[in-house]
Amino acid sequence: MPPRPSLHSLLLMAASASSSAAAAGGDSGLLLAARRRLAATAAAGGHRIRLLHSFSPGRVPRRPEVACCVRGAPDARRSAPAPTPLRSRNVHSANNYAAASEERLGQLIQKLKNEGINPKQWRLGNFQRMLCPQCNGGSSEELSLSVYIRKDGMNATWNCFRSKCGWRGFIQADGVTNISQGKTDIESETDQEVESKKTANKVYRKVIEEDLNLEPLCDELVEYFSTRMISAETLRRNKVMQRNWNNKISIAFTYRRDGVLVGCKYRAVDKTFSQEPNTEKIFYGLDDIKRAHDVIIVEGEIDKLSMDEAGYRNCVSVPDGAPPKVSSKIPDKEQDKKYNYLWNCKDYLDSASRIILATDDDGPGQALAEELARRLGKERCWRVKWPKKNDTDTCKDANEVLMFLGPQALRKVIEDAELYPIRGLFSFKDFFPEIDNYFLGIHGDELGIHTGWKSLDDLYKYHLNRLTWLVVPGELTVVTGVPNSGKSEWIDALLCNINTQCGWKFVLCSMENKVKEHARKLLEKRIGKPFFDARYGGDAQRMTPDDFEAGKEWLNETFHLIRCEDDSLPSINWVLDLAKAAVLRHGVRGLVIDPYNELDHQRPSNQTETEYVSQILTKVKRFAQHHSCHVWFVAHPRQLHNWNGGPPNMYDISGSAHFINKCDNGIVIHRNRDQNAGPLDVVQVCVRKVRNKVIGQIGDAFLTYDRVTGQYKDAGKSTIAAVTAVQNRQNSYAKSKKDNVAYEMPFPHPVEDDSVSAEDDGNSFGLNSA
């Protein structure tokens, strides 16, 4: 493709080729200025504020243009004319109002100067355009900043309308509150109320082609559009014209409804855009979507012409470009000035069942797509994905696709448009990569990880590449058991095993454990030596200082703690918020909440406990799934009756049956307390629920507990046989008594074992003499 000539050179050629005899426009005449003083010198800064009321000769204006000039304090010898009468009930209140307004105006002007806003003249009560101090109007130095100052000096606002800037702000005079900005007994209504009424009752200006001096496009401009792959026929059909003003030619994009000219937008030599003032805002190409079921919306007029070249005439362009970012909320229809063209064209869009948003592939373009989708309804919106124009760059808009790849590629972009995403609504296609990895078994630990105990892994085994699995990220495991059964000890040992094998990190919310005691238990399991030279350690050697220092470093890298720093109890929301922070900041993969009854439960009076527990577990499961974090939730059983020493049932957890209904895995930890029933160091891990059959099944595993190190190991076959035989005899006896609660139903609290050491937190076991 030959080099594309610049628009600047083409427009200059067109200007020289056009007729030099432009129609001489009559001068509107010089404006006459009548100056009246508002008040004396402002208290702050020593400035004088005087109001300029400009009006045309021969008539009194209905609403004079008000300008405010600021200069140094005048000579005290100059006599001041009488102040202009104000709408007031008495002269005293009028004078007070004038003095207060002058003081507020002086404060506002100083604050605006501090922001870099300092025009040659200050106008009050009108929107004033000036150069933005943040973006300097871009390369064209456009006067893009709009500043509005209330006449009473209450506040001032500003907004830069350049899409790549969008700087805006609001300031108030000192001591002014939102309440005091309403009506006063001096003025009958505020400036905002006047502007609101003007907007509601606005009468748009009617424009005529002859009055705008519009002409057909010259050959040079037709050639310019041809370099952008837009034909002369497309230009004629869309009535693209030109305007010769002061011997300068601008491209004129005419905005029409039912063939009647409504507005006009110009593209000048210096690539600046302007529009005919006080005209109704509508889509460019509006007539092309009348009664259309499919509508394409683009960001610029040339993009609309490009879609026409590709065969899509059912396309319109927005008139005002894109915003810098997505707004926080959608304003009311009357206040939605940036997008009032949507409301003006509502009848044309209501009949559309599919709206394709083909905005630019940049930040402002994506923000525009989101703003349009929010107002048009995301359920009927689609979006395009722009293709690459070379190995590194992606096409920015429709015209670039047309220029670099051709009309067929642009048609494919529209044909391949995707449904606009709606938060919370998905299709399976969105998850195909994840499903593929799951099928191929290459998605890391998503299929589960070892527990570190073969007897327990056998219950959860899924043979794939000769590996077995158990703990799966994103699931909820509820752990229960009668008091002093070792629930917390077993979970600590499980975490140590997982960290050793997979390097997982964890966050612990263990309300029943002191930090130093919890650290001792974890270090003993990690190092395999007792923390103290205490009687529970027997003859075993205590961990060395080097072991201790290395263990501390491991503790700090592996575990993070959630602790309440005051006397209040933690709520579930508070715990999950901190756990989320730990996931995002430290990359933890597991959360322990131990136990449920230590949380702050503020159940509403109109909510049952069952409903409340269901709500809590739903929040925990949602956290686990969204953050791919496994959660262990410890819950105690209620008081048991007619207990025969066997493990309790999951349905007996205090509070609600939802603990087993809603969890992914349900585990009961139980230890033998009867010496006649077998060794006292045997721990029975009863897996009572496994939702995902891929990772395991229901069953029992037996471990032995080492009281010296706090470690768990797989029990031997002889130990398992002895314990199983005793349990079978107990169950047979229970059935003969027609009392099935021994194993199937909850059990009472056990009698406390006096031999249990308090320093071991009730989780110690007698060593097997064998």
Q: What is the pLDDT of residues 399-427, one digit of tens each?
A: 999 999 999 999 999 999 999 998 877 77
pLDDT at 586: 92
Give CA–CA dist 268/12, Å, rounded.
11
| Strands (E) located in 595-754 | 630-634, 665-671, 682-690, 699-705, 712-714
Domains and CATH numbers, the chain: 96-172 (2.20.25), 210-419 (3.40.1360.10), 454-725 (3.40.50.300)
| Strands (E) located in 363-461 | 381-383, 418-419
- Residue 575 has φ and ψ, to the nearest 5°, of -65, -45
Bridge-partner residues for 343, per DSSP?
none
Give CA–CA dist 426/434, Å, rounded.
14
Give CA–CA dist 14/18, Å, rounded.
6
- Is there a contact between 444 and 504 (Cβ–Cβ < 8 Å)? no
Closest CA to 318 of 265, 279, 277, 268: 265
- According to DSSP, residue 361 is labeled S
Closest CA to 290 of 350, 379, 239: 350
Structure tokens, 475:
């699931």
pLDDT, greater one: 341 or 513: 341
Kindly indicate the confidence band of residue 61, based on its pLDDT and cuts at 50, 70 and 90.
very low
Q: What is the pLDDT of residues 649-677, one digit of tens each?
A: 888 787 778 888 889 999 999 887 777 76
Structure tokens, 714:
């797989």
Bridge-partner residues for 452, per DSSP?
none
Buried b (16+ CB within 10 A) or exposed e, 749-766: eeeeeeebeeebbbbbbb
- Average pLDDT in the 338-353 region? 92
HSE at residue 131, side-chain half, CA atoms within 13 A, is 11
C-alpha distances (whole Å) from 135 to each of 33, 84, 107, 299 are 33, 40, 25, 22
- Average pLDDT in the 587-595 region? 92
- Average pLDDT in the 12-21 region? 54
Judge whether residue 717 has pLDDT over 70: yes
pLDDT, greater one: 649 or 10: 649
Give CA–CA dist 132/746, Å, rounded.
75
- Other Cβ atoms less than 10 A from the Cβ of 247: the count is 11
Kindly indicate the confidence band of residue 129, based on its pLDDT and cuts at 50, 70 and 90.
confident
- What mean pLDDT value characterizes the chain? 78
Contacts 24+ apart (CB under 8 A), 569-577: 569/598, 569/599, 569/600, 570/509, 570/511, 570/598, 570/599, 570/600, 571/599, 571/600, 571/602, 572/599, 572/616, 572/619, 572/620, 573/619, 574/600, 575/509, 575/599, 576/619, 576/620, 576/623
| In the chain, % of residues over pLDDT 90 | 35
Task: Please state whether beta strands 47-55 and 32-37 pair in parallel, antiparallel, or not at all (unpaired).
Answer: antiparallel
Give CA–CA dist 461/693, Å, rounded.
10
Give CA–CA dist 339/281, Å, rounded.
9
Structure tokens, 541:
């050697």
Q: What is the pLDDT of residues 480-501, one digit of tens each?
A: 988 888 899 999 999 999 999 8
Give CA–CA dist 761/572, Å, rounded.
25
Kindly indicate the confidence band of residue 554, based on its pLDDT and cuts at 50, 70 and 90.
very high
pLDDT at 465: 35
- Average pLDDT in the 196-208 region? 66
Amino acid at 545: P
Strand, helix or coil at 644?
A: coil
Q: DSSP H helical segments within 591-639, as ranges?
A: 609-626
Give CA–CA dist 682/669, Å, rounded.
11
pLDDT at 7: 64
Based on DSSP, count helices (H) and strands (E) in the chain, helices before strands: 20, 27
Judge whether residue 372 has pLDDT over 90: yes
Q: How many residues does the chain have?
A: 770
Buried b (16+ CB within 10 A) or exposed e, 658-696: bbbebbbbbbbbbbbbeeebbbbbbbbbbbbbbeeeebb
Say how many Å lie between the first and final Cα of the chain, rounded: 90
HSE at residue 721, side-chain half, CA atoms within 13 A, is 3
Contacts 24+ apart (CB under 8 A), 181-187: 181/150, 181/154, 181/155, 184/97, 184/152, 185/88, 185/89, 185/93, 186/86, 186/87, 186/88, 186/93, 186/94, 186/97, 187/87, 187/152
**What's the pTM value of the predicted model, to 2 decimals?**
0.55
- Average pLDDT in the 371-375 region? 94
Task: Please state whether beta strands 248-257 and 240-245 pair in parallel, antiparallel, or not at all (unpaired).
Answer: antiparallel
Contacts 24+ apart (CB under 8 A), 110-118: 110/44, 110/45, 111/156, 111/171, 112/147, 112/149, 112/156, 112/158, 112/171, 115/158, 115/169, 115/171, 117/145, 117/147, 117/158
C-alpha distances (whole Å) from 318 to each of 201, 338, 420, 445, 686 are 24, 11, 19, 49, 65
Give CA–CA dist 293/453, Å, rounded.
63
Handedness of CA 352, 357, 359, 365 (dihedral sign): positive
pLDDT at 697: 81
